[in-house]
């Protein structure tokens, strides 16, 4: 989510972007691309043919440099293997084999050792390129998930800080707190009520779940009187509002304030003499940006109280819109999980959907571990102790019934070996603290690896195996 400063500050520092392969220049990116381009086959053939043409021109009698003392032409195949993998490296070797059949007399002895050594070198280099390319892709996908978690945590901390400040300022004048705001935005992002649907004239791809409810809630929280929410598809602003509050008004797409908000992906509003935006017919333009940086819609405010046009209120507006956009992005997966397990917490279902998509996209394994404790004095003490031993990246869901306490632990980027290590650490902690282990404490252990397209059904099966009737 974009939480850039509200005011247009020309001297503000630009956002920094992380590069998993370092700060590579254009030449180094050309020599070592992060991913294979679509024209890799054409580039391979062109590169090998160009090198063979050069050697043919320099040494017409020996284009493959068989008598040069070192197989220089195989460096081309080595470069192709490191760039694109073993298959295209072998393709370059086949081209050189065809060059030998074309340029050399048929009576010459076939240089078996020359081609055997070159092909072995190409295969080894290609295997290295394939292996590390796959690892780099997995690491990049995992980093995307961790960045998504970091953005969500950052915004949660920001909302928490604002909640403490505003409790003292306007608790009496505001009907809801920011904690209620978070709960309401989560509900709106997965709402299916037809009363919250957008008008039928709007294209299906432009719809945002609960857009009308969102605008009403944001208008109440930020004291907005007249505003409209317009969809954005493929970077283009729609002309018909999907939600509106107050008097109707026509959209002026070429308004400087609208263009400024779309260009900067931050809140744009009219200021005094130091503003870079000319006079506009609107007061505020706030983009609705999800955590992955995708612009989903634009909120245009035409009238609001003068005292509400301040930095804190507009920054709150941007954060609330982004929080909602992030929820809508994962709403389909989250809603499917909540349909299967209605009592599942929203945060748990959201991370479960994210990790399931991560496993499908990049093959990064994640797991669920359910620990079932007996409901007695000793079991409750062990249950609370294990909860305090959680890893920083894990997401826990404690469920307690009259007969037992079940701790469902969602463990990102954890396979079978990671689960064994986690259980071993728990047992070591129980042994040191209570002189017991999982077996003697009658703690049931149930595990599940995230696979397939239905994480909700898999979670339901895990809960039933743990003895929970949900």
**pLDDT tens profile 105-117:** 776 777 878 888 8
Give the pLDDT score at 431. Answer: 92
Confidence of residue 329 (pLDDT cuts 50, 70, 90): confident
Note whether 418 and 367 are within 8 A (CB). yes
Q: What average pLDDT does range 236-261 have in this prediction?
A: 89
Which residue intervals of 235-345 are DSSP H helices? 256-264, 311-329, 331-340
Query: What average pLDDT does this structure show over 133-161?
Result: 85
Please name the helix (run of DSSP H) or strand (run of DSSP E) that holds residue 417, with its range, or none: helix 416-434
Query: Quick one: CA dihedral 275, 277, 280, 282, positive or negative?
Result: negative
Q: What is the pLDDT of residue 203?
A: 39
Whether 290 and 38 have beta carbons less than 8 Å apart is answered as no
What's the mean per-residue pLDDT of the chain?
78
Q: What's residue 362's pLDDT?
A: 66
Residue pair 308/275 in contact by the 8 Å Cβ criterion: no
SS3 content of the chain, % helix, strand, coil (to 5): 50, 10, 35
Output the six-digit token pair for 387: 């909860």
Model pLDDT, residue 13: 39
Residue with more model confidence, 80 or 26:
80
- Band of pLDDT at residue 99, cut at 50, 70 and 90: confident
SS3 state of residue 254? coil
Q: What is the pLDDT of residue 136?
A: 83
Among 156-160, 241-245, 408-412, whose mean pLDDT is lowest? 156-160
Are 251 and 230 in contact by the 8 Å Cβ rule? The answer is: yes
Mean pLDDT value of segment 204-218: 71
Q: pLDDT for 5-44, tens place per residue?
A: 334 444 443 443 444 444 444 544 455 454 455 677 888 7
Per DSSP, the residues of 140-192 read HHHHHHHHHHHHHHHHHHHHHHHHHHHHHHHTTT-SS-HHHHHHHHHHHHT--
Q: What is the pLDDT of residue 33?
A: 54
pLDDT at residue 382, rounded to an integer? 93
The pLDDT assigned to 444 comes to: 93
Q: Is 198 a residue whose pLDDT tops 50?
A: no
Band the pLDDT of 415: cuts 50, 70, 90.
confident
In the sheet with 367-374, reading across from the earlier edge strand, the strands are: 395-400, 404-411, 367-374, 444-449
- pLDDT value at position 273? 45
Looking at residue 191, its pLDDT comes to 54
- Whether residue 69 has pLDDT greater than 60: yes
Q: Do residues 184 and 217 touch, judged by C-beta distance below 8 A?
A: yes
Q: Is the pLDDT of residue 385 over 60?
A: yes
Residue 199 has pLDDT above 50, yes or no: no
What's the pLDDT score for residue 295? 87
In the structure, what pLDDT confidence band is assigned to residue 323 with cuts at 50, 70 and 90? confident
Between 53 and 372, residue with greater pLDDT: 372
Single out the residue of 295, 294, 298, 269 nearest to residue 284, CA to CA: 269
Percentage of residues in the chain having pLDDT higher than 90: 19
Mean pLDDT of 121-128: 84
CA pair distance 305, 309, nearest whole angstrom: 7
> What number is the average pLDDT over the span 59-87?
81
Please report the domains of the chain, with CATH numbers, ordered by start residue. 33-141 (no CATH), 174-329 (3.30.450.40), 339-465 (3.30.70.2880)
Q: What is the mean pLDDT of residues 47-66?
A: 82
In terms of DSSP bridges, do strands 284-289 and 268-269 run parallel, antiparallel, or are they unpaired? antiparallel
Cα gap 450→461, rounded to integer Å: 12
Model pLDDT, residue 446: 94
Residue 176 is predicted with a pLDDT of 53
pLDDT band at 169 (very low <50, low <70, confident <90, very high): low
Residue 11's pLDDT is 41
Q: pLDDT tier at 211 (50, 70, 90 boundaries)? A: confident
């Amino acid at each position: 989510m974009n939480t850039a400063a509200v005011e247009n500050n020309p001297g503000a520092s630009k956002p920094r972007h992380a590069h998993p392969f370092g700060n590579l220049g254009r030449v180094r990116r050309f020599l070592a691309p992060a991913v294979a381009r679509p024209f890799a086959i054409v580039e391979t053939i062109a590169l090998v043919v160009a090198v063979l043409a050069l050697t043919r021109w320099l040494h017409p009698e020996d284009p493959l440099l068989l008598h040069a003392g070192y197989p220089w032409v195989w460096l081309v195949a080595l470069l192709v293997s490191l760039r694109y993998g073993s298959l295209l490296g072998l393709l370059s070797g086949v081209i050189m084999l065809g060059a030998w059949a074309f340029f050399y007399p048929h009576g010459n002895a076939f240089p078996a050792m020359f081609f055997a050594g070159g092909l072995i070198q190409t295969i080894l280099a290609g295997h290295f390129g394939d292996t590390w390319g796959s690892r780099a892709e997995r690491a990049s996908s995992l980093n995307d998930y961790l960045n998504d978690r970091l953005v969500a945590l950052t915004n949660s901390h920001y909302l928490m800080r604002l909640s403490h400040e505003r409790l003292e300022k306007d608790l009496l004048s505001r009907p809801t707190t920011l904690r209620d705001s978070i709960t309401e935005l989560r509900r709106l992002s997965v709402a299916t009520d037809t009363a919250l649907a957008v008008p039928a004239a709007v294209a299906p791809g432009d719809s945002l779940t609960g857009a009308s409810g969102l605008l009403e809630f944001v208008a109440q929280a930020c004291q907005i009187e007249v505003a409209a929410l317009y969809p954005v598809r493929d970077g283009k602003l729609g002309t018909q509002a999907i939600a509106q509050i107050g008097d109707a008004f026509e959209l002026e797409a070429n308004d400087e304030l609208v263009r400024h908000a779309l260009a900067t992906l931050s809140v744009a509003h009219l200021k005094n003499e130091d503003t870079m935006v000319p006079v506009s017919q609107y007061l505020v333009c706030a983009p609705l940006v999800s955590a992955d940086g995708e612009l989903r819609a634009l909120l245009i405010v035409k009238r609001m109280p003068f005292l509400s046009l301040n930095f804190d209120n507009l920054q709150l507006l941007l954060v609330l819109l982004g929080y909602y956009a992030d929820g809508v992005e994962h709403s389909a997966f989250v809603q499917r999980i909540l349909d299967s397990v209605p009592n599942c917490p929203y945060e748990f279902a959201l991370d479960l959907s994210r990790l399931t998509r991560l496993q499908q996209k990049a093959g990064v394994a994640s797991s669920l571990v359910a620990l079932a404790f007996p409901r007695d004095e000793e079991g409750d003490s062990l249950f609370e102790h294990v909860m305090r031993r959680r890893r920083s990246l894990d997401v826990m869901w404690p469920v307690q019934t009259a007969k037992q306490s079940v701790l469902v632990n969602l463990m990102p980027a954890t396979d079978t070996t990671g689960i064994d290590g986690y259980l071993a650490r728990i047992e070591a902690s129980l042994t040191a603290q209570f002189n017991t282990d999982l077996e003697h404490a009658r703690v049931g252990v149930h595990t599940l690896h995230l696979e397939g397209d239905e994480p909700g059904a898999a979670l339901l099966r895990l809960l039933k195996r743990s003895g929970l009737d949900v």
